[in-house]
Structure 1
Amino acid sequence: MKPEIKKKQMSESMPLAIFLTLAGGFQDAYSYNCRGKVFANAQTGNIVLLGQNLAQGQWKTALHYLIPLAAFFLGVYITERVHCLFRENDKIHWRQIILLIESFLLIITGFLPQSLNISANALMSFACAMQVNSFRKFHGLPCATTMCIGNIRSATEMLCRYHITKDKTLRGKSAHYYFIILVFAIGATTGALVTAHLGSQAIWGSSLLLLAGFILMFIKEQPVLC
């Protein structure tokens, strides 16, 4: 029986995961340090802060957290529309279109003054939602590039299962997740440092990382034996 041949998608490759995860960590540090202590990527935190401000009757402050949430929902919806419209396109992968849109939105964000932080956070949340919804798996493993909680859970689960079963495949999967978590931390550290020096324009660093991912995806998919 001949082995099955499948294409290895560049959209699920480790190099692309590194670029996108660096960008994800960068954006979170930037939004918190430069745009009013809002997490553009971590919507759970925004929901908590929204509820807290509503409970305290601080309606104007609550709006700072409601708008990024709404932008995130819209970003997921638009991503699905792009997927449906361009999934059969042979010239460019639909996920590359997503990266271009993300990069463009972050470039605009860098031009917005501090007086428009709500708009800046909305743009970043929209971009984050597109990335979350488009890039869900790397090396065959479900993996997030804009947040860590799911990756931490998966990494630790795999590590525990390895200790129980001694299956080295599980150890490799656990290491994969922990590596992505490390990359996210490096991205966040870089984002904080660059933001301290460049201010609002620092987000362009994240845009460059996404553009690098866009270019990387032009590399042809490689066939692998299964």
Structure 2
Amino acid sequence: MTAKKACKQMSESMTLAVFLTLAGGFQDAYSYNCRGKVFANAQTGNIVLLGQNLAQGNWDLVLRYLLPLAAFLAGVYITEWVHHRYKDYSRIHWRQIVLAIEILLLLIVGFLPQSLNGLANMMMSFACAMQVNSFRKFRGIPCATTMCIGNMRSATEMLCKYHITRDKNLRKKSLHYYFVILIFAVGAAAGALMSIRLGERSIWLAAMLLMAGFILMFIKEDIPKSKRAIRE
């Protein structure tokens, strides 16, 4: 007997994960190579650099890393507000609202000169926080699209468990994570190359990737009713 089908919004599809992860890798490489060696996504790196400059008394560099951290926290806070306010909105998914804000921020960043790198990094960190807080799993598997450390841990954990249990589902999940890591690396490579060639405006390519994801989310996919995820 064929399982009943249900329409599901594609906010957890692997295709969307590819677009978002490419954009995530691109943004991190762009901010580091084109915006004063600050990480838009990898806030752990910013915390390390902040602590290092505090220890060395480089007070003029402290704000370079402190402000993106503050912007990241603000991005998480605003995302939760958007989720609460629009989670039952029928015309558009609340995650698409998040993507629209991200796209707008990246478009503005592309116009900012080098003298405003601090503002550019704050805006990108804010956008990153919104993305990482809104898109947490794909195909039911928790996964990040803006950083790799959690994905690396999960991928290797699943691989080890597969070798112990021979559960093919664990191998599938492990490959899922490694694939996302590879896509992130491809996005970072593209971000590095385009930053060198196009400069500040290269971030618009990341905005285009997010726009593709935004459009993709208007498409519904049929899935077995038994596997339908609860709309978050």
TM-score, structure 1 length as denominator? 0.97
- Indicate conservation of the 8 Å contact 2:158/2:173, yes or no: yes
The percentage of counterpart residues that share the same residue type is 71
Q: Cα distance, 1:110 vs. partner?
A: 0.5
Q: What is the number of equivalent residue pairs in this alignment? A: 226
> Whole-Å Cα distance in 2 between the matches of residues 34 and 223 of structure 1?
42
Letter aligned with residue 84 of structure 1: H
RMSD across aligned positions (CA): 1.5
> Whole-Å Cα distance in 2 between the matches of residues 122 and 223 of structure 1?
39
Deviation sequence 1:64-98 (CA, Å, 0-9, x none):
00000000000000001111111111110000000
- In the alignment, is residue 22 of structure 1 matched against residue 22 of structure 2? yes
Q: Cα distance, 1:59 vs. partner?
A: 1.0
Write out the 4+ residue segments of structure 1 that deviate beyond 3 Å after TM superposition: 2-9
Letter aligned with residue 80 of structure 1: E
Q: Cα distance, 1:225 vs. partner?
A: 3.8
Q: Cα distance, 1:220 vs. partner?
A: 1.6
Unaligned runs of 5+ in 1: none
- Indicate conservation of the 8 Å contact 1:9/1:222, yes or no: no
1:177 corresponding residue in structure 2: 177
- In the alignment, is residue 189 of structure 1 matched against residue 159 of structure 2? no
Partner-residue secondary structure (3-state), 2:220: coil
Q: Cα distance, 1:113 vs. partner?
A: 0.3
Q: Cα distance, 1:7 vs. partner?
A: 5.0
Partner-residue secondary structure (3-state), 1:79: helix
Q: Cα distance, 1:5 vs. partner?
A: 6.3
Q: Cα distance, 1:99 vs. partner?
A: 0.3
> Whole-Å Cα distance in 1 between the matches of residues 75 and 199 of structure 2?
25
Unaligned runs of 5+ in 2: 227-232
Q: Cα distance, 1:6 vs. partner?
A: 5.8
> Whole-Å Cα distance in 1 between the matches of residues 135 and 129 of structure 2?
10
1:126 corresponding residue in structure 2: 126
Deviation sequence 1:88-134 (CA, Å, 0-9, x none):
11110000000000000000000000000000000000000000000
2:58 corresponding residue in structure 1: 58
TM-score, structure 2 length as denominator? 0.94
Q: Cα distance, 1:60 vs. partner?
A: 1.3
Partner-residue secondary structure (3-state), 2:106: helix
- Indicate conservation of the 8 Å contact 1:22/1:184, yes or no: yes
Map 1:139-178 to 2 at 5 A.
Answer: 139-178=139-178
- Indicate conservation of the 8 Å contact 2:7/2:220, yes or no: no
> Whole-Å Cα distance in 2 between the matches of residues 204 and 54 of structure 1?
33
1:209 corresponding residue in structure 2: 209
